[in-house]
Chain A
Amino acid sequence: MSARLDVGPPTAPANGPAPTTPGTARTRPRRHVDWGRLYTWLVLAWLFTPILFMAAFSFNDPAGKHNITWQGFTLRWYGDILAYPDLTQAMLNSVSIALLTMVGAGTLGTLLGLALGRFSFRGKQLTNLVMFSAISAPEVVLGAALLSTFLMANVTTGYWTTVIAHVMFCVSFVAITVRARVITLDPALEEAARDLGAGPFTTFRLITLPMLFPAIMAGGLLAFALSIDDYIITTFVSGDVTTFPLWVWGSTRVGIPPQVNVMGTLLFAVGVAMAVVNIVMVRRRS
């Protein structure tokens, strides 16, 4: 995934000419229907259909165990969100694992991205190759490989093996996001800081880190999203620990309670909020 897209300032593209393309100017006045826009929104509608369905049914008042036909509007499930202790625990696990992944993969990935973007060193090609493989390897392979190794090393799978796995598959994404930003930084700024007597750590803290902050945040956000969404790798390495997607999967046979829809909807709302905050912060900083 091209994570660098989240980093650039939204209004002014860093490279390439101004956003007005020659085609636009020529065709706008004559055309009344922007088919491209219509098409894009249709595809977006396809992407959001199951989410809207899920959100709508968080307000449904189902008659039996199966929450699939519309019966009537209620806010009951929002008040009764914690009715299933297992589900609550699964959600808490998901969120805490995602936060730990954000911090872990964020730290390791930032350092790695900094090294890849700024320095040339032995093993750089190999590092790129490993990162490329880790990103493109199918989840089922990553999960199976980790489980094989945990089995052979007699490690009991559970909460911490899940965190380990999530940090592993998120590191490369963060590193790529940070590297993209590091490449665009002007080294003269750091040199200026050093000329003014700042040591390497002061320079890093006062100059490099603030400039990298949007990329680190975008990378961390990505790691959080990847972690909280993950199902396949988690099934392999989580042992007896249940996360939100695992709990949902397990409850499909007996009927998914509306509380799942509520939590999914709230999670989606958090995503929307984080996206908005990200846009605002990037815009303010640029």
Chain B
Amino acid sequence: MRNRKATPYLLVLPAWAWLGMFFVVPIGGMLSLSLTTGNVVTGFQQTFEVGNYVDAVGTYWEQILRSLSYGACATLICIVVGYPMAYWIAFRAGPYKSAYLLLLLLPFFVSFVLRTISWRFLLADNGIVLQTLKSIGLAPADLQVLNSAPAVVLGLAYNFLPFMVLPIYAVLERMDHRIVEAAHDLYAGRVRAFTQVILPVSLPGVFAGVLMTFIPTSADYVNASVLGGADNIMIGNVIHTQYLVNNNYPIAASITFVLMGLLLLGIFGYARALGTERVMEVHA
């Protein structure tokens, strides 16, 4: 009782310290690294070299655009595939709701890398899927799926679908069903009840889902490496290579910041349109 005022601070202090030291400070550290010049041998000097950003964008704009468009396509697929599923689980699954949610989350127990590699084997030119389709004449004999843009986009949609379904489900599940009943009582058919009542209420969930899928998909590089081949390099691949293979840290850090800036721009656009509180609330 005596130290009730101090209690919340004592509770948050460890997490503050951790997130501050290993999330907030590192972002600042990366900003500082992105403005240095030098190389691994001579070391990096802080010269506030803004030219790194010009270099980064000038060299990799193609990969940046590709990443954003792949991310957008994958997000769209996730909405189209995920919305009906979220709707059905929220409204029709009855007592089995949480069982379905667990089913949705279970694939996460198999490593994301392993699942993506599994797709590579499944979709290989002589793999099970293509072989079967070709032998029954449903696909041309020279059809290739791997090492193409659709393969990467499908892989991304596959890996991040649950991140779209969960927020939409969360909003639909919390929805007051009486307003749907009211719509029906007012002679709204199923279609009108959906487009004019359910859909508007669920939009914040869709927006949250878009954040949760668009950000990780456009920054991903695992799918592009495993399913995309050399012609579908994404910006994540560039960051990875520049950091861990070329050790070209200043350029690597600037590209990362460009990516982060573009994504933040998107988030702020969203937050302005919807109100920050609302986005974060649904997000949570």
Co-assembled chains A and B: yes
Residues of B within 8 A of A148 (CB): 26, 29-30, 33, 249, 253
Q: Does B236 contact A (CB under 8 A)?
A: yes
Decide if B112 is an interface residue (CB 8 Å cutoff).
Answer: yes
A10, A22, A54, A116: the one contacting B97 at CB < 8 Å is A10
The reply to whether A137 and B260 contact each other, CB–CB distance below 8 Å, is yes
User: Chain B residues near A179 (CB, 8 Å)?
Assistant: 284
Q: Does B136 contact A (CB under 8 A)?
A: no
* CB-based contact A229/B85 at 8 Å: no
User: Could you tell me the distance between the alpha carbons of A271 and B221 in the complex, rounded to whole angstroms?
Assistant: 26
B109–A8 touching, CB < 8 Å:
no
B187 at the interface (CB under 8 A from A): no
A-B contact pairs, 25 of them (CB 8 A): A1-B166, A2-B166, A2-B284, A22-B181, A22-B184, A40-B88, A46-B158, A47-B158, A51-B118, A108-B15, A111-B11, A111-B12, A112-B11, A138-B219, A140-B259, A148-B26, A148-B249, A149-B25, A152-B33, A165-B22, A200-B1, A231-B111, A267-B110, A268-B109, A271-B106
> A35-58: contact bitstring with B at CB < 8 Å (1 yes, 0 no)?
011011001101111110110010
How far is B240's CA from A20's CA once the two chains are assembled, in angstroms? Answer: 50
A44–B161 Cα distance when bound, in Å, is 10
Contact between A229 and B109 (Cβ–Cβ < 8 Å)? yes
Q: Is the CB of A140 within 8 A of B256?
A: yes
Write the chain A residue with the least CB distance to B106.
Answer: A271
A21 to B198, CA, bound (A): 13
* Given A47-B104, A50-B119, A136-B283, A236 and B244 contact (CB-CB distance below 8 Å): yes
Known contacts A17-B178, A43-B82; 17 further A-B pairs (Cβ under 8 A): A5-B166, A36-B84, A37-B92, A40-B85, A47-B107, A50-B115, A111-B14, A119-B11, A121-B12, A133-B23, A136-B215, A141-B256, A151-B249, A152-B33, A165-B22, A231-B113, A232-B221
Tell me the residues in window 86-131 of chain B with beta carbons closer than 8 Å to chain A beta carbons. 87-89, 91-95, 97-119, 121-122, 124, 126-128
With contacts A127-B12, A229-B108, A275-B102 known, is A5 near B169, CB below 8 A? yes
A267 to B115 alpha-carbon distance, docked (Å): 13
Q: Is B27 an interface residue (CB 8 A)?
A: yes
Asked if A39 and B88 sit within 8 Å, CB to CB, the answer is: yes
* B212, A136: Cβ atoms closer than 8 Å: yes
Q: Who on chain A is nearest to B222 by CB?
A: A231
A123 to chain B, nearest CB (A): 8
> What's the tally of chain A residues with a CB closer than 8 Å to chain B?
110
Q: In whole angstroms, how far apart are the Cα atoms of A115 and B184 in the complex? A: 42
8 shortest A-B CB distances, which residue pairs? A271-B109, A138-B219, A50-B118, A119-B8, A149-B29, A36-B88, A115-B11, A145-B26
Judge whether A180 is part of the interface by a CB distance below 8 angstroms. yes
A157 to B260, CA, bound (A): 23
Question: Is A68 in the interface zone, CB < 8 Å from B?
Answer: yes
A32-89, CB < 8 A from B? 34, 36-37, 39-40, 43-44, 46-51, 53-54, 57, 68-69
Q: Which residues of A contact B9 (CB under 8 A)?
A: 121
Collect the chain B residues with CB atoms within 8 Å of residue A270's CB. Answer: 109
Smallest CB-CB separation from B116: which chain A residue?
A50
Find residues 157-186 in chain B having any chain A CB closer than 8 Å to their own CB: 158, 161-163, 166-167, 169-170, 173-178, 180-181, 184
Q: Return the chain A residue nearest B165 by Cβ.
A: A43
Q: Which residues of B contact A108 (CB under 8 A)?
A: 14-15, 18
A175 at the interface (CB under 8 A from B): yes
**B122 shortest CB reach to chain A, Å:** 6
* Nearest-CB residue, chain A, relative to B252: A144
- Residues on B with beta carbons closer than 8 Å to the beta carbon of A229: 108-109, 111-112
Q: Give the shortest distance, in Å, between B129 (CB) and chain A (any CB).
A: 9
Q: Chain B nearest CB: distance from A75 CB in Å?
A: 20
Q: Please name the residue on chain A nearest to B209 by beta carbon.
A: A2
Give the distance to chain B from A69, nearest Cβ to Cβ, in Å. Answer: 8
